[in-house]
Each structure stands twice: as C-alpha cells, then as structure tokens.
Structure 1
Amino acid sequence: MTAPLLTALSAPSPGVPDRPDALTLADRPCSREQLLAAASAVANRIAGARSVAVRAEPTLETVVAVVGGLRAGVPVVPLPPDAGPAERTHILRDSGAELVLGSGESDVPVNIHDRATWNAPEPDPSSTAFVLYTSGTTGAPKGALIPRAAVAACLDGLADAWQWTAEDTLVHGLPLFHVHGLVLGVLGALRTGCRLVHTGRPTPRAYAAAGGSLYFGVPTVWSRVVAEPDAARALAGARLLVSGSAALPAPVFRGLEQLTGQRPIERYGMTETLITVSTRADGNRAQGAVGLPLPGVRTRVVLTETEEGGGIGELEVSGPTLFSGYLNRPEATAESRTADGWFRTGDIATIEEDGTHRIVGRASTDLIKSGGYRIGAGEVENALLDHPAVREAAVVGLPHDDLGQELVAYVVADGIGERELIDFVAGHLSVHKRPRRVAFLDALPRNAMGKPQKKLLPPL
C-alpha cells in the first residue's frame, strides 16, 4: 500500500536529522521544520477554498505555498510566472482558483517566517492534489486533475527505480510549474527526505558547484553542460544524472558518458500520467531507451494498421499514477481513454523483448507513413544528430503524391549539404528512412522546456 502523500513530509525518516539547509532555493536555505510551520500558516489561511493558484517562481515561498495547499487539501494550480495575460486569465477562470499565492501586486503574499500548526488528518488519497495545465498545442490548455495517490505512487516508484533515499542530495534548476520540476524535483525530495538544492537557473556552472548525488535536467540543460567540459567533469561524483521532458540526443548522451564517466538515464511520462516508465539505476542505461514500467504500471503498444514497419504504434498506459480526468471536460476525458480504461498517450513507441521502452515521437507529428512503411521521426532525428556537423534536427512527414508522406528534415548544421546528410542517414538506417529533403535553419522553434515545436517550422 502506498503511504499517504504527506506522510514522509510530516514524519521525516528515522535517523535523518533535520538540517538548516534541507531545502535551498536560489541560495536561500530552509529547514523542514521551518517549511512545515510556514506551510501550516498557509493551510490555515486557505482552508476550505475550492482551489488555489500559486505563482510558481523558483523560491522558497512557492514551496511553502504548494505544501500549504496540500496540507489543507486544497487543489493547487501552479501558475507559470511568465504567463501572458490571456494564459493567466484562462487558467484562473478555468480552474476556479479563489486566491493567487505569490509575489505579484494582486497576489496573497507568503512569508517563509510565518509559524503555525496544522493538525487536520491527511485528505483522502483520491482527492485532487494538483490541477496541472497542459501545453495547449491543440487549443486552450486543459486542466489535468492529479490525485494525491497518483503523486505518491509516482514518487515511490521512482524512489524504487532510482534507489533514491534520504542520503541523496537532489540538484536541479527546472521550472516549478511542470511535473518535472515541481512534482519530481520538489515533492520527490520532500517525500524521500533527501536534501534539495534548486539552482534558480539550470546553468552548467551552478550544477557543477552544487555537489549533488542526483541531478535532474532536460536535454537543453544537458546539452549546455556537455558544451562546458569542466562543468560536466565536476558531475563525475554524482550517483545519477536523469534526463526527461524530451528525448536526449545521442551526441549529448555520449558526451555526458565521456565527460562524467557514467551514462545518464531517461524516463517517460506526461502531465496526465506523471512518470510511468524509467530506466533503473541498476539497469541497462541505453541511449534512446526510457526503461521499464514503474511498479503497478502496465503498458501496451497498439498497432492500428498492418503496414510494414515492425512493432511500432501508440503507447497506452494503465496504473496508479494516472490523472482522474480533465477539469470540466468530460468529452475530452472520455476521448483520452480506451473502452477498457487505458490512457491514450498519443506517443509512438516500441517495446523490446526485455520490456525496454523506446519513445519514437508523437502520433500527430512523429509517426510518418511513407511508401507503406511506418517510420518514427525520432529515430531519423537521432541518426542526423550523429553527424558531427548537425547541432539540431527535426523530422516531419509532408504530403507526397506517390509516397503518401515524404520525410523532410529541418536541421541546424555547419558546412554540410543536403545530399551528404541524406546519404549519411541512408548509411545508418534502412534506406526508406532517409529524408527526401533537407531544410537548413538557424535554430529550431522550441518551447520553455526545450521541446522542438514542429508545428512552428516554416513551410517548404
């Protein structure tokens, strides 16, 4: 049985004394006792609210506000601090948040030095811990309702997979309005009892100076770390380097291995599912692989057509880490699940004989059907990135009269031509997986988490 979400937070691990720098955010330290006292003051203030928004800046006040909401059983709505007026208005109106906790002019302030007690029982595990808003690539962002039990199951599963304990020091500088930075990167530390160092910004020098045993980053972060070899070598003493939120390019994987002496691990998840699959600390750390399902999670790849291309299809998942639905969107909730209750991820994957999962891309943009073959864009992108002249790559399928779709590669590269890159891919993969055209750009369009935005690529 998974322990209630706040059990470990309220009752620190035996033999692990509280310390004045149990949490450090942007060079400001805080003990667990101070955090709980200040969070209890927040809980007393907001108890009974339908939901509460938190301006999710990388500060101790954000952590206090989030924990206060969780203690009071009030669903927390993380609000990106740089959200524009339209996005902010939509999130606040859609979520029904009655208060905004933060540092804005109209926000309710949070004081790290406030002290209070909170003795109410742990809220029901099935109740909502967070309303997390999706990226909104297909319309206005939807609020995913994340149960408390799902957060606890995810964090316990990762603690098992990563051998994550109170002896660790977790370091990251990720935003606190996503699953990665907030749920894993803050609540994970609080639930395991480990020390947390949030660097404010995820710069290579900040990571190198932090002295952690466990590091979280997205591919953009790790790419910048590899670009500064001295900073990368400073991470050689870490126990685990974890990459997520997007696929880690092969050159960055190899660069980390060369400079730190260890292979990074990747994991897979999304807002609606939290983390469902991960490479284990004691498992095979292979480039492009995201590992095995967490305890209690089941996965399957659904092949909807009988075309050539092997066991590649949409990944569906089931298990204790899933969301309970989209806020006020019953039709969208129903569409996201199969008749037998599995969640349709929209991601294209393959599962190897030993159970190892590989994510190829998104069904909407990354499953390309060309000449009777089903081709994953991610595999072609990694092949392009293996060329030393290529810094970035994005592959899409564009309409073609004969093939149905033709593979087109958008690349950021120096000193190489289209034909050379096409032949390079053909020499590494099956010939039918080679790009038919290559477009050269100065940079790929990306979102705040570093994911390429293929819908923003220029037309050809």
Structure 2
Amino acid sequence: MLLSSLNSASPDIGDAVRIGDVTLSRSDIVGAATSVAERVGGADRVAVLATPTVPTALAIAGCLIAGVPVIPVPADVGQAERRHILTDSGAQAWLGPEPDHPEGLPHIPVRVHARSWHRIPEPSLQDTALIIYTSGTTGPPKGVQLSGAAIAADLDALAQAWQWTADDTLVHGLPLFHVHGLVLGLLGSLRVGNRFVHTGKPTPQAYAQACSEAQGSLFFGVPTVWSRLVADQAAAEALRPARLLVSGSAGLPVPVFNELVRLTGHAPVERYGATESLITLSTRADGERRPGWVGLPLAGIETRLVDDDGGPVPHDAETIGRLQVRGPTLFDGYLNRADATAEAFDADGWYRTGDAAVIDGDGMHRIVGRESVDLIKSGGYRVGAGEIETVLLGHPGVAEAAVVGLPDDDLGQRIVAFVVGSGAGKAVPQELIDYVAKELSVHKRPREVRVVTELPRNAMGKVLKKQLLSQG
C-alpha cells in the first residue's frame, strides 16, 4: 500500500496530521479517507483544488486508497490554465475544497468528521496515482503521470538517505500541489508514519514555533524560505533542536547555506529532482553536505552526463554535460502527449532532464541549471549561470541574483546579470562586473548588470528566467 502507515499495526498517533488549527489522529485519517474512497470509487479521474487544508489531505488520501487517479490543481491557478487542466485530464468532478470556478464539473465535499472502517481492496502500485501538471518551455502544461510504485520507491529511498523514521515530526508550509509539499511532505509522512505539521505559510515565525511547540525534527523549505529564515536571527536559532533541514525545488545560494550553518547549527541537506523523475539526487543525513552540490544518486537511481553529441562527459567537477537519469521513480509519460513522452526518453530508457550539471570524482552532482536558460555559450565558452550567481551573492551589495545569456552578434550570447540590491551595500554594475572577473575566469564576467527591485518567481520560489530573457 502506498500510504502504508495507515495500515500499520503500530500505536495510533493522536496528532498524525496537523494543518492550521485542525489536528487528526491516524485513526481519524483512516476513517475519513476511507469514507472519501467509498464516495469516489469507480471514478476515472478526480480533481482536487489543493489548498493547504485538511479536506485537501483527506481528498488525496481517499483517492489513493480507492485507486482513483487524482489531479491536484494549484489553488492560485488562472482560469484558462485551470480549464486546460480539467479538459486535458478528463477529470469527472471536484473533490474536497470547492473552487470558485468549477468549469461545469460537479463538486463532492469531503466530510472531515465522517468515518468508515470498511476494507477496500488495495489498488495496484503500478496504476497511476497522481497526475501533476507542469509547465514546459513551450505550450500549455503537461500532465505527468506518476504511479504508486514510483512514489513509493522515491519515498523509501529518501527515508533511507535522510534517516527519516516514524519518530520524526515533519514540518513545512509549502503548497500541496507540487512534488515537494504534496508527495514528499504529506504522502511521505503517511507512508513513513511520522507526525506531519503544515504551518499554512512557510514563515520564519511559523517554523520556529513548530520547532518549539510541536518538537519539529525534519523541516522542508525552498530557498526563499531559508533566505527569509536566516534574515530573522531569533527564528533561525530556534531551529537548533531540529534534526535535519532540507532544501529543494531550486538551488540554495551558498551564502544562505553558510548562514543556516552559523545560525541553526545545521548544514542543510540539498536534493534534486523533477516532477517527471521525482527526487533522484540528494546529500545524506550521514554524509557530506557541500554548499552548491545536490549529492549522490538515491538507491536504485542511475545518472549520466552526455555532451551535445551524446558522448560521455568526464567526472572532473568542471566539465558541463546534459544530465540524464534512469530508475524506478520515473513517470509513466505525459497524459495525451505521446510525442512529448517520446522526446523525453532515449531508446534505453534514460530520461532527458533538460538540466546541465557537473559530477566530481566521488559522484557528487552540482546542477548548473536548465540547458535552455542556464547553460550560456559565450565567445566559444560554455558557462554555467549558477556559478556566476553564487559569486554575485557573495558581494555585500547583492541580495538576489539571476544570470542569463542574451543574444549577441559578436559573442553568440552575452552574459547579463539581474541583481536585487542589499541593504548591506550598494549594487554598482561595473563594480559587480569587476568582482566576478576577479573571482572567476575573466570570460565568465557579466557583460552587463541590471539592478532591479525584484526577480520574477513562481509559487515555489524559482526565478522565471524566461521572463528575464524576454527583456532582451
């Protein structure tokens, strides 16, 4: 069973899931989710407006118990994108939280206090469990089909790497419609059997409070969460009793990593993955945690780097290659998109991640960024945007930085840095250009620095570099 702790014979947990002001025991979850499963059993696909609420958690758990594929819909999704997701997925109804724009679909409420103790036949783990829509580089979002087997394999591998057990209390305030917050956070807790606390929003104060009042031991956050936390010294120091801090969904700036070590006493675990592959790389609870590096392949995962011609790339910590992965956590294809699915895999089952990376002699991986926006080819050199961003973030006048390659008649691509100034100093463009030239090779310096008030980001804190590229 995917949510194996719900079938566990171990003692009931009185506060197995806490979201906002609502707390459910393990038996509460079993009874309420089974009631949901009885109501949706036999459906082909069901959509859930994935607000950070108990009805969302019960709706998704109920669908997984019933073997009904569930489509988590972002709570802040625009109407056109919502319509596309519902039409493309063939969802038959809304389950749980009621949307403002149902798009003609019936709504099935979740009764939080309903209880059923009927035994429902367990669905096959090979069947589709989740369909998560993710935006590609072009066109409308694609539905990523994830089987129960892929999710289970990933969660078990992460539990091993992070020494994650039922004794943990996992805390986060991330959205429940992406892999990070939903699969790792909620479903991971329902599989491992630990307590789960969702803070509503991932504020420094909420995390600090959860550490002290709920004895939080395992904390999840995206880089924006951690950067805000280290800016609040009292909140950061309140996390010292925690066991493990985990960062993902985007690269964690090295200065933030170092501040977490200084203020919390914890070197954060960093991990890497995608909706299509789930999490494939991670540093370990019992291993080296190196700033800027995302670790080793999880159990069962293979990785490789290839050049533009498909040839192998040396593992010398310097040579950039295209990252490909293979293993039991991969998705079963894009819904209704056989063409896109075929493009994503090679003949031997290697998934083309679209990310550029380097690997050192010990197998540690560092993600350079997306091939499309973070691998810059300037003046005959291949330059990783992330390396330049890390250096810029080390300057006292820079709070945030994003580097892209813009078209250039002479160089092919011109390295351009967008920076947000810091209160600790002034961001002077020429000074920053010279600073990078001294820290790195001269050819890696930005040819232009643009000071902006903020960087465009999505709900998970990732910088939307496509928007920066459109500024020419």
TM-score, length-scaled by structure 2:
0.94
Matched, 1:445 2:436: no
Q: Which moved more, 1:299-308 or 1:336-345?
A: 299-308
**Alignment-mate amino acid for residue 48 of structure 2:** V
Structure 2 CA distance for aligned equivalents of residues 191 and 165 of structure 1: 10
**Which of 41, 50, 70 lines up with 1:76 in the alignment?**
70
Identical columns (%): 61
Q: CA deviation at 1:137?
A: 4.1
CA contact (8 A) 1:6 1:122 kept: no
Aligned to 1:229: 233
CA deviation profile, 1:357-386 (whole Å, cap 9, x unmatched):
100100010111112211111111111111
CA contact (8 A) 2:69 2:131 kept: yes
**Alignment-mate amino acid for residue 333 of structure 1:** T
Residues 135-284 of structure 1: matches in 2 within 5 Å? 135-211=135-211, 212-284=216-288
Question: Structure 1: which 5+ residue stretches go unaligned?
Answer: none
Question: Structure 2: which 5+ residue stretches go unaligned?
Answer: none
Matched, 1:55 2:49: yes
**Alignment-mate amino acid for residue 61 of structure 2:** V
CA contact (8 A) 1:408 1:437 kept: yes
Structure 1 CA distance for aligned equivalents of residues 471 and 41 of structure 2: 51
CA contact (8 A) 1:27 1:199 kept: no
The count of residues paired between Structure 1 and Structure 2 equals: 454
Structure 2 CA distance for aligned equivalents of residues 153 and 416 of structure 1: 46
Aligned to 1:368: 376
Structure 2 CA distance for aligned equivalents of residues 372 and 27 of structure 1: 57
Q: Structure 1 segments of 4 or more deviating over 6 A? A: 306-309
Structure 2 CA distance for aligned equivalents of residues 380 and 134 of structure 1: 28
Matched, 1:43 2:37: yes
Structure 2 CA distance for aligned equivalents of residues 416 and 68 of structure 1: 52
CA deviation profile, 1:393-421 (whole Å, cap 9, x unmatched):
11111122222212111111251311110
Q: Which moved more, 1:389-398 or 1:129-138?
A: 129-138
Matched, 1:11 2:8: yes
**Which of 387, 391, 406 lines up with 1:383 in the alignment?**
391
Local SS of the residue matching 2:108: coil
Structure 2 CA distance for aligned equivalents of residues 74 and 369 of structure 1: 46
User: What is the RMSD of the two structures over their aligned residues, measured on CA atoms?
Assistant: 1.6
CA deviation profile, 1:127-176 (whole Å, cap 9, x unmatched):
00100000344210000000100000000000000000011000000000
Residues 314-329 of structure 1: matches in 2 within 5 Å? 314-329=322-337
CA contact (8 A) 1:208 1:235 kept: yes
Structure 2 CA distance for aligned equivalents of residues 81 and 444 of structure 1: 22
Structure 2 CA distance for aligned equivalents of residues 66 and 396 of structure 1: 38
Aligned to 2:338: 330
TM-score, length-scaled by structure 1:
0.96
CA deviation profile, 1:114-135 (whole Å, cap 9, x unmatched):
1113423321121001000003
Aligned to 2:471: 459
Structure 1 CA distance for aligned equivalents of residues 349 and 389 of structure 2: 33
Structure 2 CA distance for aligned equivalents of residues 265 and 48 of structure 1: 41
CA contact (8 A) 1:46 1:72 kept: yes
Local SS of the residue matching 1:326: coil
CA contact (8 A) 2:56 2:97 kept: no
